[in-house]
Amino acid sequence: MDDTVSEGSDVLLFLSRERTYLVRVRAGERFHTHKGFIDFDQVLGKRFGDVILSSMGVAFALFKPTPYDYVRKALRATQIIYPKDVALIVAYSGIGPGSRVVEAGTGSGALTSALASFVQPNGRVYSYEVRKEFCEQAAKNLARAGVDEYVVLRNADISQGISEPAVDAVVLDLATPWLVVKEAHGALKGGGHLVSFSPTIEQVVKTVGAMSVGFADVETVECLVRRMKIKAGSTRPEGVMRGHTGYISYGRKIFR
C-alpha cells in the first residue's frame, strides 16, 4: 500500500535537516550511517511517518520522498538547481498538470524530474541534453524518481532546433541561453512562457536583450530565501544564508 513501506520503496531517512538519506528498501539489507545502521527488515511494513531506531538507538523518521527530495538528492554531476528556484520557475512558467514543456539542458535530471512531477499524468517534458553521458545518467535518475514516463529525453543540441511545436513553456538552464531564444520563440505557442535560469549578470543581459524581439512581460528576478531560528526567547534569522544561486528571467511570446 502506498502509505506503507514495502519491498523496493524509496524512503527518505530523516535524522535532521542536514542529515537525510534517500534509500531503496530491500529485504535482508542494511543501511549504514554514522549513527548506526538501519535494518531494512524492521522498516518493511512500517508506515511513512513512523520513527524507527538505528542500531545505536538513534531515531530516524521514515518519509516518502517528494520531487524536491529527489532534486536535493540527485547526483551532483552538475551543479543542481535549488528548490526555491524550481518553485519560482514553475510559478513563472505557468506549468501545471497537462503542460507540454521543453527543457534544456537536462544535466542530472533534477529540474526535469520536478517539472515532470507537475505536468503528469497527461503533460510531457521534452528535455534536451547535448552530452551523452548526462543523458544516460538522467535517464536513470528519472526512472528512480518514478517520472520517466512523463519525460522525453533528447540527446541533441537545442540551439540546433526544437522538434516540438506549440509548447506551453520553454525552460532553459544553459551556459548560453541567448543562443536559444529564437528557437524557443518558434517552439512556443502564443503567450507561452520562456524561463531562463543563469548565475551571471552577463548571461542575463544577453538573454534579455535577445528577448526584446518577440516577447512581452519580460522580467528578471532573484530570490533570496532566509531560514529563521525559531525558539521562544531567542528567535532570529540564521547566521549564514545562501547569497546567490542565479537570476530567473522570463517573458511571454507575442506574435510580431
Question: Going residue by residue from 113 to 152, which x/- string records binding to a copy of itself, judged by CB under 8 A?
Answer: ----xxxxx-------------------------------
Under the binding rule (CB under 8 A), the answer on residue 222 touching a copy of itself is yes
3-state SS class at 185? helix
| Minimum distance of a copy of itself from residue 149's CB (angstroms) | 13
Query: Of the two residues 140 and 189, which places its CB atom closer to a copy of itself in the complex?
Result: 189
CB neighbourhood size of 127 (10 A):
28
Query: Of the two residues 8 and 190, which places its CB atom closer to a copy of itself in the complex?
Result: 190
Helix extents (H) in 62-119: 67-73, 83-93, 110-119
Interface of this chain with a copy of itself, residues 193 to 212, rule: CB under 8 A: 193, 199-202, 204-205, 208-209
Under the binding rule (CB under 8 A), the answer on residue 32 touching a copy of itself is no
- The 8-class DSSP code of residue 200 comes to S
Q: Is 118 left (phi over 0), alpha (psi -120 to 50) or beta?
A: alpha
The tally of CA atoms less than 13 A away on the side-chain side of residue 215 is 27
Give Cα separations from 29 to 132, 193, 237 (angstroms): 33, 46, 41
Under the binding rule (CB under 8 A), the answer on residue 219 touching a copy of itself is yes
Among 80, 113, 192, 195, binds a copy of itself (CB under 8 A): 192
Query: Of the two residues 76 and 234, which places its CB atom closer to a copy of itself in the complex?
Result: 234
Interface of this chain with a copy of itself, residues 39 to 78, rule: CB under 8 A: 47-51, 61-64, 66-68
Interface of this chain with a copy of itself, residues 80 to 119, rule: CB under 8 A: 83-84, 86-88, 90-92, 94, 96-97, 117-119
Question: Going by C-beta distance under 8 Å and a sequence separation of 6 or more, which residues neighbour residue 79?
Answer: none
Of 247, 135, 112, 250, nearest to 184 by C-alpha is 250
